[in-house]
Amino acid sequence: MRRAARELRLLARDPLLLGLVVVIMAALLVFVLYPIVLVLRQSLVTPDGVGLDNYALLAERRLYRNALRNSVGVAALVGALSVVTGYVVAFTLARTDVPLKRVLHNLTTECQDVAIIYIEETLAAGLSAEIDRFKNSVRPAIILIPGREGSTGKGLTALHEAVKRAIGTDIL
C-alpha cells in the first residue's frame, strides 16, 4: 500500500506522465470496457423488455451451446499456444545465439542512418520476432525479398499488410 501511494505521488509530480496515464486509461475505457458494457447490456434486451431470456436460450439450444463451447475452446487453445510460443521465442532470443540475431540487432539499434534493410525470406523465418519489433517503426523499413530458391510468399504478404496498414485498404 505504501508503494502504491509513493508511486502516485511520483506520478503527480510529472504532469506529462500523468497526462499520458490518463490518456491510456481513457483509451482502455473507451475501446475495451465500453464495448463490453454495450454487449452485456444488449444481451439483456428481449422482445418483452429486459431479462435473462437470451441466456436461457443459450442453455436450451444445442446450437448455441456448441457455439459457446467452440468459442471458449478456441480462445483457450489460442491463449495457451500464444503463451507457449511467446515464451519459447523470448527464451530463444534472450538466452541462445540464433544466427544473425546480433547483426539485425546492430543494424536496427546502432546504425541510425540505416533506413531500409533487405532480408531474404528464408533468413527472415528465423528472425521473425526481431523483425516484428520494427513492424510499426518508420525506420528501419525491413523488406523481405525472394532468395535463390524463389519466393515463399512471405515478402509479398508483408508488403500487402504494410500497404493495408498505411492507407487502410489493400490496393495491390
- Which tens digit of pLDDT belongs to each residue from 111-146? 566 667 777 887 777 777 777 877 777 667 777 777
**118 in a domain, yes or no?**
yes
Looking at the structure, do residues 110 and 163 belong to the same domain, yes or no? yes
Amino acid code (one letter) for 125? A
Tens-place pLDDT, residues 22-52: 898 899 999 999 999 999 999 899 888 898 9
CA distance 154 to 126: 13
**172 in a domain, yes or no?**
no
Looking at the structure, do residues 4 and 18 belong to the same domain, yes or no? yes
Looking at the structure, do residues 108 and 146 belong to the same domain, yes or no? yes
The whole-number pLDDT of residue 150 equals: 76
CA proximity to 92, closest of 65, 127, 117, 44: 127
Q: Which of 29-33, 35-39, 75-79, 83-87 bottoms out in mean pLDDT, i.e. has the lowest?
A: 83-87
Dihedral of CA atoms 155, 161, 163, 167 in degrees, nearest 10, equals 180
Residue numbers of the domain that contains 149: 101-167
User: Are 121 and 144 in contact, with CB atoms under 8 Å apart?
Assistant: yes
Percentage, residues of the chain above pLDDT 70? 81
CA distance 111 to 57: 61
> 42 — phi, psi (to 5°)?
-65, -30
Q: From start to end of the chain, where are the E strands?
A: 45-46, 49-50, 116-120, 141-145
**86 in a domain, yes or no?**
yes
The whole-number pLDDT of residue 171 equals: 67
Looking at the structure, do residues 82 and 28 belong to the same domain, yes or no? no
Query: Mean pLDDT across the stretch 87-115?
Result: 64
CA distance 135 to 161: 10
**CATH number of the CATH domain containing 114:** 3.40.50.10580
Q: CB neighbours (10 Å) of residue 119?
A: 21
Looking at the structure, do residues 150 and 114 belong to the same domain, yes or no? yes
Looking at the structure, do residues 155 and 112 belong to the same domain, yes or no? yes
Helix count and strand count (H, E) for the chain: 9, 4
Looking at the structure, do residues 112 and 153 belong to the same domain, yes or no? yes
Q: Above 80 in pLDDT, residue 103?
A: no
| Last-in-domain residue among 34, 69, 96 | 96
Cell (9 digits) for 124: 527472415
This prediction has a pTM of: 0.40
**12 in a domain, yes or no?**
yes
Q: In the chain, how many domains are there?
A: 3
User: Are 120 and 130 in contact, with CB atoms under 8 Å apart?
Assistant: no
**61 in a domain, yes or no?**
yes
Looking at the structure, do residues 160 and 127 belong to the same domain, yes or no? yes
Round the average pLDDT of the chain to a whole number and report it: 79
